Structure 1
Amino acid sequence: MALIIKPTERREIEAIFALRRDPDVLLHQYRPRRSETPESFARKLDAPPDRLGMSFRCTSILVDDVMVGHVMQHFGPAPDPRLNACECGWNLAKSHWGQGIMPRALTLLFDQLFEEDPKLLIFASCFTSNHRSRRVIEKLGFQRDQMHWIVWLTHLIRSRGRRIEQFRLDRRGYRLALAHLAAVESLERESASD
């Protein structure tokens, strides 16, 4: 299975929206707002950073040249003015759940993001009921983070009362998580060969 990530192209936007509307995926994310359309998504992709330094990117996840998921990235200032922030959200087609695709895709993406900006803080949020995303978040070294009350209230309203948690990841925590994963994989290979 060949997995690659790449910047999202306009021709992939319809597939992203089809994935975001899939009933199995919708159980674990917000419904797209009425104002969120393929056209508005394309405009966001093409837009330069706004006057506050906020910008948007999307990365497509392909397996054997078929798009199976995506990672949206919202860049802007971090709570610490010396740092920058990136809020990430992702979706993966149900047909590819449980195959380790999302951790591998996020590792490729996070390697790029931390190479671009070593002082970046990556944030991710997930519903407490989304155990798959939670496992990915923990595997990659994210730590629980306190959500600002305005952000928490916005999430609460958008999710219609579902509980959500926020996590943060810095470059050091990410590197430690990768080293731990490599050690675990090495031990597993050794025990399998015995």
Structure 2
Amino acid sequence: MDTERLIMRRWRAADREPFAALNADPEVMAHFPNLMTREQSDAFADRIEAAFERRGYGLWALEVRETGAFIGFTGLIYWDFPAHFTPAVEVGWRLARHAWGHGYATEAARAALEFGFTQAGLEEIVSMTAVGNARSRAVMERLGMTRDPADDFDHPNVPEGSPLRRTVLYRVSR
């Protein structure tokens, strides 16, 4: 998939090193429970590719059209962890710090939402993040997603006592 400034594509072997670097960056991962080792990052990339094979969609690698630089991912991920809104498909993103502040996450997420509603036939797509992640929450709002505070939840995959456990949920319907 292409947007005005981005190429959203399947993953390549060359993406793994910059992907591992962003997954090990404390600022990029500030709203996740842990940094990832290279092995964990590679395993995540393998799971992303497997999701494409299983569902026909997933987290697309993002490339800046003008430079060809890999900057992270944006796309759709299926969740079935125990929560009041699952199973659900989430639109999500993770970008390298140097790619922040350019509108790339919003641009790519809009394309992912369009794909989800028109190609994948989804009726609703969610997005979630730790309460304190103002940058991602702003992207969700720019996408036209809405939040009902009654939907907020304690993420079961985040350890109890972690300040990241409380999670906000945003939704958008076809």
Would you call these one fold, judging by a TM-score over 0.5?
yes
Aligned match for 2:20, one of 17, 20, 26: 17
Answer with 127-136 or 63-72: which moved more.
Answer: 63-72
1:58 maps to which residue? 59
**1:113-142, Cα deviation, whole Å (9 max, x unpaired):** 211133332121112221111110011011
Change (3 A) 1:158 1:38: farther
Amino acid at match of 2:50: D
The runs of 5 or more residues in structure 2 that have no matched partner are: none
| TM-score of the two chains, using structure 2 as the length reference | 0.74
Amino acid at match of 1:31: N
Cα separation, 1, equivalents of 2:57 and 2:45: 10
Q: Output the aligned Cα RMSD.
A: 3.3
1:8 maps to which residue? 11
1:117 maps to which residue? 120
Choose between structure 1 and 2: higher helix proportion: 1
Structure 1 residue 56 displacement after superposition: 7.1
The runs of 5 or more residues in structure 1 that have no matched partner are: 172-194
Structure 1 residue 59 displacement after superposition: 0.6
Aligned-pair identity (%): 25
Cα separation, 1, equivalents of 2:158 and 2:85: 25
CA contact (8 A) 2:93 2:109 kept: no
SS at match of 2:141: helix
Cα separation, 1, equivalents of 2:20 and 2:89: 21
Cα separation, 2, equivalents of 1:5 and 1:117: 16
Figure out how many residues of one structure are paired with residues of the other and give that number.
162
| TM-score of the two chains, using structure 1 as the length reference | 0.67
